[in-house]
Amino acid sequence: MAGWYATEGRTALGATMLLAAHDRWWPYKKWDAIPDSAVLQPTLRLVVTDRVREHYLTQPIGPEAE
């Protein structure tokens, strides 16, 4: 859905969606969610803001959060 917001030009809502999904996503590895390198998917690049990247890279997710 974040990608859809980006496609519609509503990047702030896409970024907000990624931040809200943080506590609900249980990826296999932290970098499955937001990589520390450039996001390769062009649509998601629009919504992976510095704030989103920092949040995903500094806050534990999945089993590490418990």
Side-chain-side CA neighbours of 18 within 13 Å: the count stands at 27
User: Residue 39, class by beta-carbon neighbours within 10 Å (0-12 exposed, 13-18 middle, 19+ buried)?
Assistant: middle
- The tens digit of pLDDT for each residue in 3-61 reads 888 889 998 998 998 888 887 766 555 555 555 556 567 788 888 889 988 888 888 87
What's this model's pTM, rounded to 2 decimal places? 0.54
pLDDT value of position 30: 52
Quote the pLDDT of residue 60. Answer: 81
How is residue 49 annotated by DSSP? -
Q: According to the model, what pLDDT value does residue 12 have? A: 92
- At residue 2, the pLDDT reads 84
Sign, CA torsion 50/25/18/64: negative
